[in-house]
Structure 1
Amino acid sequence: MSDTTSRALALLNLLQTHRHWPGTELASRLGVTERTVRRDVDRLRELGYRVESSPGAAGGYRLEAGSAVPPLLLTDDEAVTMAIGLRVAATQQLVGGPEVTLTALAKLEQVLPQALRRRVNALAASVQPPRIGDGPVVSPVVLGEIALATRDTERLRLRYIDAEGVESIRRVEPHALAPSGRKWFLLCWDLDREDWRTFRVDRIESVEHTRVLFPRREITDAEIEERVLIASSWSPQKVEGDAVMELSLAEMQDRFGPWSQGATAEGDTHTRWPIGGSDWREAMYAFLWIPEGVEYAMTFPDQDRAELREAVERLLRAIDRPTPVARGERRP
């Protein structure tokens, strides 16, 4: 393989891994001049790859959908089949890692011509694969667009409908897509709230690309996992209640961190914190996290309150009873 061919393939790989590249950055990565980059871009265009260029200090190159699937790779039918398969895998979580599925989906959909994209959308809408459980339906189109923007660190405008049915436009910097249970969540920096927010992807009605790039903010994988876990725990639960604590909202937020989500002030000295679970045992677990020494009142469904009272009274009796003889020992 000639140096020219190898360099063109290296350039193509770079264009596929990011949505926009400044010409100076490409030249630096490839170890060539910007003039050579321009010649290699022309070679890719001759092969059927649509590489758009923009002039100026902020200009550069980006790989766009062309008039046909780029050579090497796939026939039209193969591309459509693969795109549908990746969409199903992403929404059903059938392969061993959502990141791999979304990366592959983003790369393929980035270069699909509009005619093939329409075929994919039409077929995906008509194909109803067996669903895992009864989770909400996630739009594969929305999922794919968010995957692209997350990979490329591109700001988005989202049309979002919350749990109460209220619609809003959110300007966000997407940082991670993650599944939890049978739902997909987008962790992003909300530009209007100036804070992290986690949105359910099935509630995102549409995605608008801004072509404005952003520097990634520092956040660890552990923090992402925790925030997604918190967001998934606020889905409607079978058993729901409240704890009204003798803590101001600011104190409560300081002690609970991200887990203070949903808390509201009750005057200057108390805070209402919603809790819930699939049954009264899960809901009770939340009360155990209220800091030592903090008094609180609770709301709880009457039937579940009775079961909770019986379990707590039995636990108190067990604490007061003599400690059982250890296994293998005999009483004196």
Structure 2
Amino acid sequence: MTDTTGRVLQLLGLLQGRAMWTGPELAERLGVTTRSVRRDVERLRRLGYPVRASTGVGGGYQLGAGGKLPPLLLDPEEAVAVTVSLRLAAGGSVSGVEESALRALAKLDQVLPASLRGEVDAISQAVVAVEGVNVPVDARLLSTVARACRDRVLLYFAYRARDGAASERRVEPYRVVAMGRRWYLLAFDVGKADWRSFRLDRVEVGRVHATTFRFAPREAPDPVDYVRDSVIRSPYRYVARLRIRAPLDDIAARVPQNAGTLTDLGDGTCELETGAETLDYLAIEALWLGVDFEVLDPPELRGRVRELAARLRSAVGG
């Protein structure tokens, strides 16, 4: 915390503790000049605090109505950081704190100044948190996208595909999904005339523009299901179906939302659909579940599992 920030907080505490202070009194308590006091008062006003000033005999500074439950001293980027962290916690990324995070979000809305409440409201409405992410996202980018989702305005951005191909996109943004290791935007791509998911780390931060052109809401797919299916199918060379010889409830906790889709087969087993770049990774992923399984598709995965099984048997001497 800077000296100026600490002094502003001390000034706020003084104003909350007494009905009226003169400029010289505050200057003496803070160890600064009356000119510095005036500057600090202006800082509090810019942050949304209703500090009143009066002149003449008996005049001075006082905290106006609404100042007893003060706005938080957060700049826009800090407000975004706090909100995103609480949204992730509310989505279950930190076990056992979901309800507490939701309560904290509600309280945050009550004490933020009006200038920041819009940022928090946009992110709270737009972000669907399924699991915590460990890939950073630019705060300005997240704010711009979240506001466009909330306000239902067209969004333009430069995008880099998985193969490195660059393109310009014009979309109707719907939701931001935090899933697994990534941030995704679910949007209706106007150029493709279809729904698409976009990884936010592939969006060029300096080339994102939210327009003022509003669009009529469409019937949208479930954002979590759509992003999960896109992640499982689109990026991977191989998509596998495995029959897992264990109840779905026993397996669900071991399979992250973005790693595969589980289907209950009704006989004490379940089916896992998942994807990977290599057959070896698919085989290791199945073994990692720690239960018996059967490869349904693709045929080449069955052959690769046989080869790995033979190698493992050889490693232990037959």
TM-score bracket, normalised by the shorter chain, equals 0.3 to 0.5
Question: With structure 2 as the length reference, what TM-score do the two structures score?
Answer: 0.45
